[in-house]
Structure formats: C-alpha cells, structure tokens
C-alpha cells in the first residue's frame, strides 16, 4: 500500500497499484512545475526578435524552432538551467527571477548569460 497526501487536500490518497501511484506522482510534479516557474527566451538582445515561453522542462529547443537562438532572457518566476545541448547536457548556466543586472530576472544580452549567444538547446526547471 502506498499513500500520498496532496498539499491542498485534506485527505490521503492510497494506492495498491504502483502504476497508479506513478501516474499520480507525475500529475503532482506537473502541477508543481507549471505553478512554480516561467521563463521567456528571446531570439535577440533586449528581449526582441520573437520568444518562446517555458513553464516546465524542455529537452530540446529544436522542436520549438528555437535551437541555438537565445540572446536574452526574462525569468518571471523560479529558476532554470539552460544547457548547450539537447537532453540537459553540456555546459550550462542557471538563471533566476532574482538574477540579472537589476536582480529582477531580466538578462538583456549574452554578457549576462555567461557570454553565450545563440547557444542554448534545452532548459530544466530547478527545485529547492
């Protein structure tokens, strides 16, 4: 028997089936991710040239037609790690809603992204 207590629920959920438990945990993780982090990644400096919005992990920007195109970033909430390669691999940089030159989550150019322009291919939400 497995039990889960949902944060906003007065009752415990019990499972005798591992698959059902796994599905419930996946649903809880999705709720946490979508409620806790948001980033806009822009094609050009100073938040111009089109953008993608992420609220969860993105293992490859190519599927969004945005591979190796990031030049500026706005982190609305949470913290993200941006990776050079697909599947969260290669050199990375971490950006947060409290970072950037004005500590407001805005990274206007590649100097604030470790000097990396048109570089990133995946992003992961950080917890903790």
Q: Which helix H or strand E contains 90, and what residues bound it?
A: strand 89-96
Which band of pLDDT confidence, cut at 50, 70 and 90, is reported for residue 50? very high
Q: Is residue 27 part of a domain?
A: no
Q: Is residue 2 part of a domain?
A: no
Residue where the block lists tokens 């470790």: 114
Range(s) of the domain holding residue 68: 36-126
Q: Is residue 46 part of a domain?
A: yes
| Domains of the chain: total | 1
Q: Is residue 59 part of a domain?
A: yes
Which band of pLDDT confidence, cut at 50, 70 and 90, is reported for residue 53? very high
Paired strand residues for 76: none
CATH of the domain at 96: 2.60.20.10
Q: Is residue 9 part of a domain?
A: no
Q: Is residue 13 part of a domain?
A: no
Please tell me whether residue 9 adopts helix, strand or coil conformation. coil
Q: What is the pLDDT of residue 11?
A: 56
- Give me the long-range contacts of 92-95 (CB less than 8 A, separation at least 24): 94/126, 95/39
**Between residues 43 and 32, the one the model is more confident about:** 43
Q: What is the pLDDT of residue 127?
A: 83
Mean pLDDT, residues 31-45: 80
Q: What is the pLDDT of residue 20?
A: 65
Mean pLDDT, residues 34-48: 90
Cα angle value 5/11/16 (rounded, 5°): 65
Q: Is residue 68 part of a domain?
A: yes
Closest-CA residue to 7 (of 34, 40, 29, 37): 29
Q: Which of 35-39, 63-67, 97-101 has the lowest mean pLDDT?
A: 35-39
Query: Is-contact 45 72, C-beta < 8 A?
Result: yes
């Amino acid at each position: 028997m497995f039990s889960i207590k949902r944060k906003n629920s007065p009752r415990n959920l019990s499972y005798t089936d591992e698959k059902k438990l796994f599905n419930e945990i996946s649903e809880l993780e999705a709720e946490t991710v979508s409620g806790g982090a948001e980033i806009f990644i822009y094609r050009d400096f100073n938040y111009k040239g089109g953008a993608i919005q992420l609220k969860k992990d993105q293992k490859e920007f190519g599927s969004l037609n945005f591979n190796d195109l990031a030049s500026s970033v706005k982190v609305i909430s949470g913290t993200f790690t941006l990776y050079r390669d697909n599947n969260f691999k290669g050199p990375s940089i971490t950006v947060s809603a409290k970072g950037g030159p004005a500590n407001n989550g805005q990274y206007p150019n590649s100097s604030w992204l470790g000097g990396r322009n048109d570089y990133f291919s995946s992003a992961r939400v950080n917890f903790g």
